[in-house]
């Protein structure tokens, strides 16, 4: 893997949240964002996430990210030489929508993700353990998108067929419901195959990192969204009465899930908050390794308040795992909270929309 390939050289913001203007020259290895509560540290992570995903992890409405009194925001990064892209930018205008660009050309969200693979580990990431299935599907599919060529096309075909079948169910058009079974099943089997391959590749890393962080390996079982051993076409036929009653398709890849076990027991009802955090970290770090190996470049890894819910021993384990990840790190911390990173880090102090480089 290329040393600095894929890493961010600089970040520039205009009218983003509390930042009227900010420019950061970034380390290719680790960047620590220190400051008090509500200083703007998480907003900097949010800006990078926006550039890699085309969405915020804190707000559904992008115009809510525009600084009060301003009409638009811009976020822009330059990547180091040798990267797939050299520049990625986003502009959000009040009432006018969002414009995404990669190397000066208009870009889709999938093109942003290709140019800037961004992984997030924050307190909400614990929803991977305790949250609903859609959180785990979203996590899984970000990785599958990067490691399995053709996944996006397969998923889009599946969603189009699913939308058509669900529309027919709502309209009571039973003939059309049956007509959509075959294209839905064909696309769904393709999505399922790619997900299964990605999970099989992910599992060894999850087990190793869980053992490193928690002292015991985790188990990850993939459930496809219909009964194991049953053909999806048959599952759709078996579910048609329930589909009609619910006015929606109740089986298929859109109902898939990852079941997590720790110490042989289901994780969700048994683990502590700290264990939830470390298990989510094992999943995210394993996926970071998987995507980095496939792409031959570092992933940008955003880590919000790693010290929360952890004692010093487990925090040290997490920081050690983060330092060993094939990633460019961005880590937030409260003033006065020491982060013993076993790697050289650039430290920024953030306070009320102002950023200063300390180291």
Here the tokens at position 173 are 């058009």
The answer to whether residues 170 and 21 belong to one domain is no
What are 220's strand-pairing partners?
Answer: 260
CATH number at residue 215: 1.20.1050.90
159 domain-assigned:
yes
122 domain-assigned:
no
Task: Please say whether the beta carbons of 180 and 161 come within 8 A.
Answer: yes
The answer to whether residues 150 and 49 belong to one domain is no
| Owning domain of residue 236 | 130-295
The answer to whether residues 176 and 156 belong to one domain is yes
The residue among 248, 271, 295 that closes a domain is 295
The answer to whether residues 289 and 179 belong to one domain is yes
Task: Name the residue with higher pLDDT: 353 or 234.
Answer: 234
Residue that is written with structure tokens 């669900």 in the block:
166
pLDDT band at 240 (very low <50, low <70, confident <90, very high): very high
The answer to whether residues 220 and 157 belong to one domain is yes
- What does the pLDDT look like over 84-110, one tens digit per residue? 889 999 999 998 899 999 999 999 999
Q: How many domains does the chain have?
A: 2
Q: Average of pLDDT values for 168-189?
A: 97
CATH number at residue 327: 3.40.50.300
The answer to whether residues 141 and 264 belong to one domain is yes
Give Cα 136 distance to the centre of its chain.
10
- What does the pLDDT look like over 143-161, one tens digit per residue? 999 999 999 999 999 999 9
124 domain-assigned:
no
Handedness of CA 302, 308, 311, 312 (dihedral sign): positive
CA angle 69-71-75, nearest 5°? 105
The residue among 278, 295, 312 that closes a domain is 295
- The least confident of 125-134, 159-168, 170-179, 339-348 is 339-348
Residue 238: Cβ-neighbour burial (10 angstroms; 0-12, 13-18, 19+): middle
Distance between CA atoms of residues 156 and 179, nearest Å: 18
Please give the model's pTM, rounded to 2 decimal places. Answer: 0.95
For 217, half-sphere exposure in the C-beta direction (CA atoms, 13 angstrom radius) is 8
123 domain-assigned:
no
Nearest alpha-carbon partner for 168 in 181, 157, 150, 187: 181
pLDDT at 263: 85
pLDDT at 321: 95
Q: Is the pLDDT at 180 greater than 50, yes or no?
A: yes
Q: Average of pLDDT values for 213-222?
A: 94
16 domain-assigned:
yes
Residue that is written with structure tokens 């459930």 in the block:
223
Residue 124: Cβ-neighbour burial (10 angstroms; 0-12, 13-18, 19+): middle
Task: Please say whether the beta carbons of 55 and 309 come within 8 A.
Answer: no
The answer to whether residues 220 and 252 belong to one domain is yes
The answer to whether residues 275 and 173 belong to one domain is yes
- What does the pLDDT look like over 297-332, one tens digit per residue? 999 999 999 988 899 999 999 999 999 999 999 999
The answer to whether residues 222 and 321 belong to one domain is no
Q: List the end-to-end C-alpha distance of the chain, in Å, as a whole number.
A: 27
The residue among 259, 275, 295 that closes a domain is 295
The answer to whether residues 261 and 326 belong to one domain is no
């Amino acid at each position: 893997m290329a040393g600095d390939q894929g890493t961010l050289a600089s970040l520039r913001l205009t009218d983003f949240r509390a930042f009227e203007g900010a420019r950061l020259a970034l380390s290719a290895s680790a960047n620590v964002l220190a400051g008090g509560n509500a200083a703007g540290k998480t907003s900097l992570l949010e800006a990078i996430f926006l550039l890699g995903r085309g969405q915020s992890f804190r707000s559904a409405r992008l115009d809510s990210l525009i600084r009060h009194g301003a009409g638009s925001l811009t976020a822009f990064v330059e990547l180091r030489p040798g990267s797939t892209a050299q520049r990625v930018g986003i502009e959000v205008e009040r009432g006018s929508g969002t414009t995404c660009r990669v190397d000066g050309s208009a870009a889709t969200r999938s093109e942003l993700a290709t140019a800037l693979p961004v992984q997030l580990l924050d307190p909400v990431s614990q929803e991977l353990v305790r949250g609903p299935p859609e959180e785990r599907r979203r996590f899984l599919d970000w990785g599958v998108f990067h490691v399995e060529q053709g996944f996006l096309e397969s998923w889009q075909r599946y969603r189009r067929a699913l939308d058509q079948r669900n529309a027919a169910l709502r309209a009571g058009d039973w003939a059309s419901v049956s007509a959509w079974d075959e294209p839905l099943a064909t696309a769904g089997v393709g999505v399922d195959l790619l997900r299964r391959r990605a999970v099989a590749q992910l599992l060894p890393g999850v087990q190793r990192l869980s053992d490193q962080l928690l002292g015991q390996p985790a188990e990850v079982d993939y459930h496809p969204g219909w009964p194991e051993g049953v053909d999806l076409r048959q599952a759709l036929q078996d579910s048609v009465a329930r589909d009609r009653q619910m006015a929606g398709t109740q089986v298929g890849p859109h109902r898939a899930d990852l079941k997590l076990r720790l110490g042989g027991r289901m994780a969700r009802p048994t683990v502590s908050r700290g264990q939830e955090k470390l298990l989510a970290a094992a999943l995210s770090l394993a996926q970071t390794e998987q995507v980095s190996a496939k792409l031959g470049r570092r992933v940008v890894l955003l880590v919000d308040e790693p010290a929360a819910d952890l004692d010093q021993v487990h925090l040290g384990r997490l920081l050690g795992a983060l330092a060993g990840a094939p990633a460019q790190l961005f880590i937030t911390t409260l003033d006065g909270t020491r982060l013993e990173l076993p790697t050289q880090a650039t430290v920024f102090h953030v306070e009320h929309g102002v950023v200063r480089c300390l180291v």
